[in-house]
Amino acid sequence: MNAIDDENTGWDALATRWQAQSSAAPDVQALEREVHRRSRRLRIVWSIEVVVAALALANCVRALSLGERLPVPAGLVWFLMALVLAMTGWTLWQRRRQWRAQALDARALMAFERERSRTALRIWRVSTWVSVALWTAMVLWALLTAQGRMPTVQVAPPAQWALNIVVNALVVAVFAVAAWVICRRHRQRLQRLHSLEKMMDVD
């Protein structure tokens, strides 16, 4: 959260600096520093995402190692592993050519940043809806299992299902709130970039 606030403060500082300039030339070096700083943070975020994905895959492998003690069909675990790989690959593809900015002029740098913010919005929205869909599927699975309408290798106690549903609901809720805040910050950044471009047009 603080990192996002710092980035927005950086764009505010750029806007203030450009407004105070007597010449028409924008401070391209300051803009480049902001873009490069975001590039470093983006690589850090990607590293964290890879670690989380690796932990999720490791947990799935651990579940498969239970063999007959696995409380759900093995196909479901394989599906979750495929989903983790698909989402990780999709986010990587979405961020292609966005890891670092080449030598660009001010307008091209702002277009580059605008596309990165739009990509971040898209990734957070899709990730949030996928999380909600998975939680909903888990609730439906629990209800159908309790009614004996779903295949299980080992039926988990109702209390365990209820605990998993509540815990995952809290996780999804926290994730959704974080996504809303971060998306709001990205929309604000897009507005700031638009304002900077309008300053250039006026100049």
174: which 2 tokens? 């926290």
pLDDT of residue 36: 83
CA dist 50 and 4 (Å) reads: 20
Cβ neighbours around 121 below 10 Å, total: 19
Yes or no: say if 40 and 49 are a contact pair by the CB < 8 Å rule: no
Q: Give 81's pLDDT tier (boundaries 50, 70, 90).
A: very high
pLDDT at 20 over 80: no
pLDDT at 105 over 80: no
Q: Give 27's pLDDT tier (boundaries 50, 70, 90).
A: low
What average pLDDT does this structure show over 9-17? Answer: 54
Cβ neighbours around 105 below 10 Å, total: 11
CA dist 74 and 63 (Å) reads: 9
pLDDT at 24 over 70: no
CA–CA–CA angle 24, 26, 103 (5° rounding): 130
Each residue's pLDDT tens digit, 38-54: 888 888 988 998 999 99
Task: State the total domains in the chain.
Answer: 1
What is the domain range of residue 155? 2-202
Average pLDDT, the chain: 78
pLDDT at 5 over 50: no
